[in-house]
Amino acid sequence: MRNRSARRAYLPAQLRVVGGRILARPLATTGSGDLTAHARANGLVVLDADRLDAAVAIAELADLVRGYESVKVRSVEEYRSKLHAALAEFV
């Protein structure tokens, strides 16, 4: 999800409805010629260049979840806390 240009990015995504809200999960892609990613997608996520870095940082928060049992519980709590704060700033 890196975009070195100052242009708007259109990322292939899988969309689904959960609790009356549309959730989008961007798919890993190598670019506009990536037929596999675009074939798996059922929508596009549009990110303006000025918000792309913040969106990437939010997506990378999932890497915080690690470990087993009590270690995993603590890492999930940290993830949720940081995600809540990051989403509040992003919106």
Sheet holding 43-47, edge to edge: 21-26, 9-18, 43-47
The reported pLDDT for the residue numbered 55 is 82
pLDDT tens readout for residues 47-74: 887 887 788 888 888 889 999 999 999 9
Single-letter code of the amino acid located at 44: L
pTM equals 0.55
Q: Would the pLDDT of 8 be above 90?
A: no
Between the CA atoms of 3, 54, 72 and 76, what dihedral angle is there, to the nearest 10 degrees?
-140
Whole-number average pLDDT of the chain: 87
Domain boundaries, the chain: 1-47, 50-91
- The pLDDT score that the predictor gives to residue 5 is 67
pLDDT above 70: residue 1:
no
Q: Scan for tokens 């929508």, then name that residue.
A: 43
Distance CA 83, CA 91 (A): 12
Predicted local distance difference test score (pLDDT) of residue 19: 93
